[in-house]
Structure 1
């Protein structure tokens, strides 16, 4: 056995394990300097004998803590092994990590990356971009990218943001794979689940809109869509009934479906590739597809125009709703009498000026009386500014009333001939 191997075997024994671990911590803390002392609490007999051998000083068996100058350990190892304490520690492994040096190196890397981000024209043009960079620096994101050797992802994120910001107004939507290819050379780089890059970009886009980044595929798909980036134009769809429209293809299909009172699923792909115009003064919105199904079955073509949020509005829903409102139409919304349903009502009021319909405190109480399920109300309470008594009444009753439980009243409102949609030819 070589001398180096003998040294390794000697100092990797249990009597030296804690002592060398303490020495490692001291060297790493002090930049490799041999200074100060190290200690052992409640040393074993083997550890006590090892320290006696190093220092030449007797230690009583009942001693509770032993301290030893680091220089004494360094001298002993040099005399026995012919190498330094640092050499022994690194031979045993792992290599020493000098914390102060690492902190300096890390800070220099952080400053270099931030400086690169600040060279983008976006930094002088948009406050949201400045906030985005500052947030990445303050919450440890940049440090994480450095530690994972993923700093190139920040540069790619900046290129994506610059690409989106430089697109002329009125440009056609871009598919997510095409955006990824144009900015990173990898068509899958921005796909969900592909590491940190999609999240970095979406954090910036959410800041640009002045909103928090929400979790969930639909919320992220909607955020991309707000910047005319299409994630999956076939998966996103919206269910409608009696929504005649003009426009080749989709407009014709919708008008034909309205003539027969047939529900129709519109995909985001259709809305993008087959533009339509909807000239309707009022369009009703429901939350539950079961309500739309009843309207189709019981009212057919006499039902007023109706679109369904299906629990959570899709990107296709939002694109259609914006199209209706921008053309002068009013959305009248009814949803569940639970806190998520009220939150959705507030969101649609804010975003589209939607008018709550049959969403008063009286409507809620009528639903409580008629509903036999009596589901407990759960979740975070929401304001009901269109009828402040509604929130108070819901908090008092502590019961949820789902939309399908009050569908009879909704259909009564829809039944009169006055609500029949005006047919529009394709």
Structure 2
């Protein structure tokens, strides 16, 4: 061991100066300058004597002990103990120093890169902005992956999945295969499935964490047009004209003659390839409207389809078959922001005239239920969104049930629905 090494160990290598070396090393790891003063509260006599030996002068009185880092650096350089000063001395005593600030910046950059594709997609999808903030706040991605390098491919696949949602009726396995190259990538329990399901809840206007269970999972995917199988996606209808040539057509004809609601599966509708012939088809959001119409009108009820909240793949398929047959649509739903979002999706895809679903109708119904959620535009009646934001109450379909059934009983034309409003 050289004389310089012996002097360095004698001056700074003992237990009495370990606190000082620790403080300096921590500053170096954090990228902070080695300037100013460090202080040790309640210093022992041995610690005070060690600093006096180091600096060559008395270390002051009192219980605390303060050391100027600048003085230390100059002393080490001038004495030849460490030509590179305090920084060199600490490295010689304790080994290479980690650049914690640099490591932190590198980790931050790596995570930003991992999220880059997803963030680009979310930037154009404001309905996912809250969900993206939730991902960050909960740290769910970091819990599911060990590093940013592991998270990057997972988040890229997630972005590819979200770019296809909402869907017009896609099987979950096919969605996984076409976006991830693995038909099982969205199977329950997989990290990608966990993240994609939380995004599906966001798109459906549901809590991001949501409830567990297979039924809840199935409903969530169905709400954005993805079905786990052809039998779990359903649509409720009443009074739809069928035919006598196909199995599904005969079911509809029999249900219409009996005045009973009919539930069709996506499997049945996928196997039915010919359009359904109808003129005006009314669409409601809640099954209670169908039940009341069946109770009061029975076989005389005009064509009515229930969206059941966010339209499932089966709902979209049935509405598509009706549209192909020349049907036009009149829509009513809940006057809340979720209901407006549902209506906007149907309006964009199929078009409709509002069925008591305009500003005048909204203002006419007493309600004290608070309106919550993120506002959405109402392109079929722009004044409706303004009226809802101004009044700030929600109106559920059940509050106007008698009026809706009366409309069905009178079988008004689409023109009358458009112009009469609340009636």
Q: TM-score, normalised by structure 1?
A: 0.62
Aligned length: 361
Cα separation, 1, equivalents of 2:365 and 2:41? 74
Cα separation, 2, equivalents of 1:377 and 1:104? 43
Describe the shift of the 1:317–1:59 C-alpha distance in structure 2 as closer, same or farther (beyond 3 A).
Answer: farther
Describe the shift of the 1:258–1:20 C-alpha distance in structure 2 as closer, same or farther (beyond 3 A).
Answer: same
Cα separation, 1, equivalents of 2:287 and 2:304? 11
Q: 1:333 — aligned with what?
A: 331
What's the secondary structure of 1:325's corresponding residue? Answer: helix
Deviation at 1:176, TM superposition (A): 3.1
Report 1:94-109 matches (<5 A).
Answer: 97-99=98-100, 102=103
Cα separation, 2, equivalents of 1:179 and 1:132? 17
Cα separation, 2, equivalents of 1:308 and 1:213? 17
Describe the shift of the 1:66–1:243 C-alpha distance in structure 2 as closer, same or farther (beyond 3 A).
Answer: farther
Q: More deviation in 354-363 or 187-196? A: 187-196
What's the secondary structure of 1:283's corresponding residue? Answer: strand
Cα separation, 2, equivalents of 1:306 and 1:183? 36
Q: 1:375 — aligned with what?
A: 369
Describe the shift of the 1:279–1:129 C-alpha distance in structure 2 as closer, same or farther (beyond 3 A).
Answer: farther
Describe the shift of the 1:359–1:181 C-alpha distance in structure 2 as closer, same or farther (beyond 3 A).
Answer: closer
Report 1:381-396 matches (<5 A).
Answer: 383-384=377-378, 386-387=380-381, 390=384, 394=388
Q: 1:208 — aligned with what?
A: none
Q: 2:343 — aligned with what?
A: 345
**Preserved contact between residue 242 and residue 261 of structure 1 (Cα < 8 Å):** yes
Cα separation, 1, equivalents of 2:344 and 2:122? 31
**Preserved contact between residue 38 and residue 67 of structure 2 (Cα < 8 Å):** yes
1:195 matched to 2:191? The reply is: yes
Picking from 162, 172, 176, the partner of 1:176 is: 172
Deviation at 1:281, TM superposition (A): 2.0
Describe the shift of the 1:72–1:249 C-alpha distance in structure 2 as closer, same or farther (beyond 3 A).
Answer: farther
Cα separation, 2, equivalents of 1:316 and 1:255? 19
Deviation at 1:316, TM superposition (A): 2.8
Cα separation, 1, equivalents of 2:75 and 2:267? 76
Q: 2:59 — aligned with what?
A: 59
Describe the shift of the 1:14–1:253 C-alpha distance in structure 2 as closer, same or farther (beyond 3 A).
Answer: farther
Q: 2:18 — aligned with what?
A: 16
What's the secondary structure of 2:26's corresponding residue? Answer: helix
**Preserved contact between residue 54 and residue 73 of structure 1 (Cα < 8 Å):** no
Gaps of 5+ in 2: 1-8, 83-87, 125-132, 209-216, 414-423
Q: 2:417 — aligned with what?
A: none
**Preserved contact between residue 333 and residue 356 of structure 1 (Cα < 8 Å):** yes
1:238 matched to 2:238? The reply is: no
Deviation at 1:334, TM superposition (A): 0.9
Cα separation, 1, equivalents of 2:324 and 2:350? 9
Q: More deviation in 289-298 or 394-403? A: 394-403
Deviation at 1:150, TM superposition (A): 0.7
Cα separation, 2, equivalents of 1:306 and 1:156? 41
Q: 2:266 — aligned with what?
A: 268
Report 1:55-134 matches (<5 A).
Answer: 55-62=55-62, 65-68=66-69, 69=72, 85-86=90-91, 89=94, 97-99=98-100, 102=103, 131-132=120-121
